[in-house]
Amino acid sequence: MTVKKWMLASLVGVVGTVAGANTMATGPVSSRVVSAQARHDQVIAPTVTAASCSVGSCGASCDASCADDCDACGCSEGSGGLFSNLFGNACGCDDNVCDAGGCDSMGCGGSDGLLGYGIIKPSDKCFDDFISPMTNPVFFEDPRSLTEVRFIFLNHNLPAALGGNSVQVYAAQLRARLTDRLSLIATKDGLIYSQSPLIEPGLADLAAGLKYNLYRDVEAGRLLSVGATYEIPMGANKSLQGNGNGEFHFFVTSGTRIGERAHWLSASGIREPADTNLENRVWYWSNHFDYQLADRPLYAFTEFNWYNWQSSGTAFPLPVEGGDLFNLGSTGVTGNDIVTQAVGMKAKPRSNVEAGIAYEFPLTERRGVLDDRLTADLIFRF
């Protein structure tokens, strides 16, 4: 299949392409980063006052409310606590304006953790100009080290061949930055509702795991992370959940800044069921491209998801691909491919608040259980 061969060849070159991405912009890297971050602070979070982040300076380099909290870099340590971070009152490190090298080795200034107990660290703020991907929401993981809660709504229409009608999902994802590089991620949960005769309301399976940041370059705006999750089959069978003996997910995810306004995120992973008779093995590759619109806190984006079914099961008697939400254990799906595209918009009214909407549709003749889908999310980042 031409699409499959092209994507496989492209995937091999992802890391190499990311490594040369900064050639797409002009001027010294450090000046581009400072410019991009400064513009982001002024436009995305206009209520925040930025400090200079110049090494060795303190007092005058921080805004008045943070004058006594400067670290060695002249940056506030962001000790405002959980609710201050949520609503944007914490000082942070220059309130998201980092110098070319970052204020410290892994972020902006120090931190005692949320609530002051040091258990959970605030998000890495030196990549606040990025936005998170939206489609393939259970598996397309953001490469950044984040502490956040993400609310998700899906309206998923089924093909007429499967009875038509729709499925709605209400879910919340949680991410917690445990160390500078290690994060705990809870990627799947929620309630499933449906008007389809094949699916009844019930709980979704629960999936959680760990993500580790391998590579981080603040100047070039590049990230590379790896991780793994395990899906516990505790959902409702009547909602096409809870089948099998669990599913492992191993993934790699990366991102790069392109110029001052654009970004590319790319992730690939394998879904490995504990029992391949009851669930299918699936390989995916997801890509996200966004562009900030002028000096507004708005982003236009498009995403592409490629799914390749690598094994057939015996649990579902029809050759129907389950997509990202379901793993049916279908017969006769080995080697099948489905490619989808999504178009959408995201807004960042504050640097730590993100809301988006996306419309997704198949590009291939095969559709599986997806006729089309509307996705909306709302993120509060700490």
Convert the pLDDT of each residue in 297-332 to its tens digit.
999 999 999 999 999 999 999 999 999 999 999 999
> Is 90 exceeded by the pLDDT of residue 3?
no
Strands (E), the chain: 148-157, 166-177, 182-188, 191-194, 202-203, 206-217, 222-232, 247-258, 262-273, 282-292, 298-309, 337-350, 353-362, 372-381
Residues of the chain with pLDDT > 70: what percent?
69
Kind plus residue range of the DSSP H or E element containing 3? helix 2-12
145 pLDDT more than 70 = yes
Q: How far apart, in whole angstroms, are the C-alpha atoms of residue 336 and residue 193? A: 28
Whether residue 83 is predicted with pLDDT greater than 60 in this model: the reply is: no
Mean pLDDT throughout 36-52?
A: 38
Residues 338-362 pLDDT 10s: 999 999 999 999 989 999 999 999 9
Q: What is the mean pLDDT of the chain?
A: 79
Among the residues of 60-149, which ranges form H helices?
A: 81-86
Q: Residue 360 carries which side chain, given as an amino acid letter?
A: E
Is 275 exposed, middle or buried, given 0-12, 13-18 or 19+ CB atoms closer than 10 A?
A: middle
Query: Higher-confidence residue: 39 or 51?
Result: 39
pTM of the model: 0.76
d(CA 125, CA 121): 11
pLDDT, one tens digit per residue, over 128-142 is 999 999 999 999 999
pLDDT in tens, 271-301: 999 999 999 999 999 999 999 998 899 999 9
pLDDT value, residue 295: 85
Residue 88, pLDDT > 80, answer no
pLDDT at 81: 38
Report the pLDDT value the prediction gives residue 234, as an integer from 0 to 100. Answer: 96
Q: How confident is the model at residue 116 (pLDDT cuts 50, 70, 90)?
A: low
Q: What is the pLDDT of residue 19?
A: 41
- pLDDT classification of 115: cutoffs 50, 70, 90: low
Is residue 241 over pLDDT 80? yes
pLDDT of residue 193: 96
Give yes or no for a contact between 128 and 96, defined as CB atoms under 8 angstroms apart.
yes
pLDDT band of residue 114 (cuts 50, 70, 90) is low
For position 162, what pLDDT does the model report?
79
Choice between 62 and 272, residue whose per-residue pLDDT is larger = 272
| Per-residue pLDDT, 197 | 86
User: Which residue type does 168 have?
Assistant: Q
Please give the average per-residue pLDDT across 259-278, as a whole number.
Answer: 97
Give the residue with greater pLDDT, 14 vs 345.
Answer: 345
Residue 166's pLDDT is what?
Answer: 95
Which of 270, 200, 277 minimizes the C-alpha distance to 235? Answer: 200
* Percent of the residues in the chain that have a pLDDT greater than 90, as a whole number: 65
Q: Copy the structure tokens of residue 224.
A: 């590379």
Q: How confident is the model at residue 198 (pLDDT cuts 50, 70, 90)?
A: confident
Asked whether the predicted pLDDT for residue 220 surpasses 50, the reply is yes
Bigger pLDDT: 294 or 4? 294
